[in-house]
Amino acid sequence: MALERNVKKKPARTHDRRNIWLLVLTTVLVVVSVALFVPPQEKINQGLDIQGGLSVVLTAKSDDGGAVTADDMEKSRAIIESRVNALGASEATVQVQGSDQILVQIPGLSDTEEALATIGRTGSLTLARLDSFTDQEVVKQIQSGQYANEATFTDDYGNTFPTGETQHLTVEPGTYTPLVTGENITNVTIDRASETGTDYAVNVTLDAEGAAAFAEATAELAPTKGEIVIILDDEVQSAPRVQSEIPNGQVQITGNYTQEEAKNLQTILESGSLPVSFEYAQSQVVGPTLGQDALASGVLVALIGLAVVMLYLLVFYHGLGLITAAAMLVFAVLYLGILAALSAFGLFSLSLAGVAGIVLTIGMAADSSILTLERFREEIRMGRSVRAASITGVRHAILTSIDADLVTLVSALSLFFLASASVKGFGLTLALGILCDIVMMLLFKAPLIRLLAPKAIARHPGFWGTRDSVEAARAGEAAAKAAEADGAAKADGAQAAGTAEAAGAAGAVKAAEAGAQAAGADASPAKAPAPKVKGRFIKHDINFLGYRKVFLTAAAVAMCACFAVVGLRGLNFGIEFVGGTSVAFHDTGEVTIEQMRDAFADAGEPDAVIQTTTADGEEGFLVRTTTTSAEDAAASASAVASELGLSTESFEVTTIGPDWGASVIQSSLIAFLVSLVLIIAYIGIRFRDYKMGIMAVVALFHDLILVMGIYALVGREVNPNTIAALLTILGYSLYDTVVVFHRINDNMSGESIRCTFMTMANHSVNQVLIRTVNTTLTSFIPVFAMLLFGGETLKDFAFAMSIGLIAGSYSSIAIATPLYAMWKTREPKFAKLQKKYGAEIARFGFEHAGSEPIAQVPLARLEAAAAAAAAPEKAPQKSTGNKKKPKKHGRS
C-alpha cells in the first residue's frame, strides 16, 4: 500500500513542478514585455487620429499638358497609398481632393522632404544606351562622370557651400531611346554597392522581355565598353560601363544612396510608376482627429469602467475574482509588449480601429476568465474535489475558450490579409489579442488555479468563493444517499437513480423529494418546501426554448423594421464614405478644438471632423464636412469665423473625395464574406456539424442589421468609428454563440441521452447563463460609461458597441440556439428522441453531486412520476406509463 501511495503522489509533484515552471516563464515574459512598452506613449506608435502627423497636398500635372483624368487620379491614389503603407505608416489617410490633388496624412511623421521623396515621386525608371542620346552636351557630361554632383548653396555674400545632397543630371524625354522601362521589373532588393563601400545600391530583376533586350544590348556594348544609362524620373542615376554580356536580367542601380534612400527607392519601384507627375503644393503638421482632451477623457472613463468591473468580479467571485484580475493584468502587459515590439520595427500604429480591437480582446480575456471560474465552481458542485475540479474543470473551460478564440481569429486574419484601411488595423490588434489570451490561459491562469486548489482554495472556501459550491455538493450527496436508501426499502430493491424509468413509482416519489430538498423546490404538493441551498445557481431551468416562437417572431419583425427604416430614412454616411469639403483655417490664435467643434455644430455641421494644424509657425484647423457644395461649406465657414472672431479671409474651402473609396469598401466586404465562409468551415470541422456555423452566422447578421437599423432610426452618422464597432460586435457575437454551442455539443455527446435535443439545448443555455450575464456586464459597463461621459468623437463607437453587446448575448440564446435546435431535431436520431419523450420542453432541476452525469432525467419527469405515485390506484404500476408525462407537465 505504501508503494501504491508513492505512485499516486509522484504525478502530483510532477504536475506542481510543471505549473511552477509555467508561472516562472510567465514572469519572464511579463518582465520582458514591461521593458518593451514602458513608457507606452513613446514605445507604441500612434495613428493619425490619436497623435496627429504630417498632412501633405500633392498637385497633379499631366506630362503632355492635357487634363488629368479621374482614372489617373484614382490610380495615383492607390499607388501612393501602397508606398505610404510600405513605409510602415499603416494608418495613413490618402484621398483625392478636388480634381487634381491628393491629400496624404501620415501619423507621427514631421519630415516633409522624406515624405515627398517617396510618396510623390513619379517612379519612372528607364534604361538607355548612351549611344542613343541625341544631345551631345549631355553625352559629354555622362562620359566625364558629371551626372551626380554635390549640390551647393550660395549665401548673400557670394560664398558657396556644399549642401551634402546629390544633384543629378536632368535629361529630357525624347532625347534618347528607351531600352528597358519600369514595366519590365519583377523584383527589387537592396544591398551594399560594394563590399568595402558604405553606400547602398538597388538591385532590379527584369522580366523575360526586358532581360532579352538587356542581354542583346550588353552583348553589343561589351567589346567597346559602352555605357548603359540608368534614368529615374528624368534624372541620371548612374552610367556603368558594360564589361561583358548580362543574360540574366540583373541590373544594379547605384547613386551614392544611404540605406534609407535605397529603401525609399525600392518602395517606389515596387509600387510602380505614377501615371502623372506630382508637385509639392503645401504641407502642415495636423493634430489628432480625436483631440487629446477627448482621448484622455475616453481613456479615463474606460479605466473607471474597468475598475467597476473588477470590483464586481471581486464581489461576485470573492478570491477567485483576484485570479481574474491578475489574469487580466498579465494579458494587458503581454499585449502591450507585443504592440511595442511591432512598433519598434515600424509594423504597427495604433488607431481608433485598433483601440476597438483592444477593447474586444480585453472583453474576450475577461470572458475566458469568467468561463473558467464558472466551470471550476460547477465541477465542485457536481461532487469533484477542489483539486480534481481544478484539472478537469479548467481544462474543459480552456478548450471551450480556445474554440471560441479560434473562430474569432479566423475572422480577424481574414480582415487583416484581405481588407484595407483601418479594417486591417482592427484585424491585426484582434488577432494579436486572441493569441495573448490563449498564452495567458495556458501559461498563467490554469497553472495558478491548479497550484492554489489543493491547499489554499480547498482550506478556505469562503474566501475563494467556493463555499456555496462545496455545500451544494454535500447536500446533493446526502440527498442522493437518502433517496437511494428510501428507494431500496420501499421499491423492493429497485435502484432509485433519480429517474422514473430506473425506479418504481414509490422510489420515484422519494427520489423526487430528495432532489427537491437539494434544489429547494417542492417535488410534491403534499410536502412542505425544504430549505433552499444557498448559492448563485440556476435552481430550475428557465424555459427559454419554450418561447422560441415568440423570440424568433420578434427577431423577424425587428429585422423587417430595420430594413424598412434603412430603406425609408437611409443611412447617414460620413465624409469618409461620400466625400465632402475641407476647410483650412489659418492663424486661429487661442481658439480651442472644442470651441471650433461647437461653432460648426451651431452652423449646422455637428459631425464635422476637426484637426488642429501647424504651418509656418501658425496655429490653425483642418475641418472636413459632408457638405458636397463648396458654396454651402464656405457659408458655414464664414459663420464659424464670425462667431469665433476670425478673419473671413483666414480659411480656404476645397472639395475632397471619399477616404473609404469603392476599392476600400469592396476589399472589406470581400474580407468579411471570406471570414464567414471560413467560420462555417472551421466550426463544421471542429464540431463535425456545419449547421452550428450557419446558425452562428445567422445570429451575427441579426446583430449587425439591428445596429444599422437603430443607426438609421436615430440618424447617427456612419463613420469609421461605427465600422470599428460593428467589427467588434462581430467578435462578441461569435464568441458568445460558440460557447453555447460548445456546451450543447458536450451534453449531447453521450451514448444514452434520455431527453430531446430541444430539452438539452435549453439546459445548455441555462448552464452558461450566469457566465453570459457576467461577461456581458464586464464588457458593457466600460463601453456604456464611455457613451455617457466620454468625448463626442468616441460616442459613435460606444453607441454601436452598447447596442451590439446586448444584441450579441441575446441572439446567442434567442436566435442561434432555437434555430439550431429546431434544425437538429429534424435529424432521424433526435426525431426519435422527440417522439419518445414528447415535443414539450422538459426542464432540469438543480444539478448537484447526486445528479447523474448529463443523462439525468429532467425535473419535469420526476414531478410527473411523483404525481403518478401520489394516486393510490397507480402506486404499484411500473414507470413505463410515465414516458409521455413530460408532454403534460413540461412547464411545471
Give residue-wise pLDDT tens across range 7-37: 344 455 666 788 899 999 999 999 999 999 8
Radius of gyration of the chain (CA): 35
Bond preceding residue 782 cis, omega within 30 of 0: no
What confidence score (pLDDT) does residue 478 get? 74
d(CA 408, CA 414): 10
- Residue 524 confidence (pLDDT): 35
Type of residue numbered 529:
P
Residue with cell 446586448: 806
Residue 47 near residue 425, CB atoms below 8 Å? yes
Distance CA 395, CA 376 (A): 9
Q: Would you state the pLDDT for residue 794?
A: 65
pLDDT digits (tens, 9 = 90+) for 561-588: 999 999 998 888 877 777 788 888 888 8
Residue 499, pLDDT above cutoff 70 = no
Q: Round to whole Å and give the CA distance between 744 and 821.
A: 10
Placement of cell 507627375 in the chain: 277
List of residues 6+ apart from 70 with CB closer than 8 A: 99
How large is the average pLDDT for residues 533-556?
Answer: 83
The single residue listed with the C-alpha cell 429517474 is 499
- For CA atoms 271, 275, 277, 280, the dihedral sign is negative
Residue 54 phi/psi, 5° resolution?
Answer: -100, 135
Q: What is the mean pLDDT of residues 107-117?
A: 63
Q: What count of Cα atoms within 13 Å lies in the side-chain half-sphere of residue 525?
A: 7
pLDDT at residue 267 tops 50? yes
- Is pTM beyond 0.85? Reply is no
777's grid cell: 456586464
Give the model confidence (pLDDT) of 203-235 as tens digits. Answer: 888 888 889 998 999 899 888 888 888 888 888
At residue 865, the pLDDT reads: 57
H helix or E strand, kind and range, residue 61? strand 53-61
Judged against a pLDDT cut of 90, whether residue 107 lies above it is answered with: no
User: 46 versus 403: which is more confidently predicted?
Assistant: 403
With a CB cutoff of 8 Å and minimum separation 6, the contacts of 120 are 56, 58, 80, 278, 279, 280
Q: How many CA atoms lie within 13 A of 115 on its CB side?
A: 29
Mean pLDDT of the 365-375 span = 84
Give pLDDT, residue 560: 95
Locate 181 and state its grid cell. Answer: 522601362
Rounded mean pLDDT, 190-206 = 83
Beta-carbon contacts of 872 under 8 Å, excluding residues fewer than 6 positions away, are none
Q: Could you report the per-residue pLDDT of 773-813, keeping only the tens digit for each? A: 888 887 787 778 777 776 665 677 778 888 888 888 889 99
pLDDT band at 555 (very low <50, low <70, confident <90, very high): very high
Question: Is the separation of the CB atoms in 488 and 503 below 8 Å?
Answer: no
DSSP symbols for 65-92: SSPPPHHHHHHHHHHHHHHHHHTT-TT-
HSE-up of residue 213 (Cα within 13 Å, Cβ side)? 16
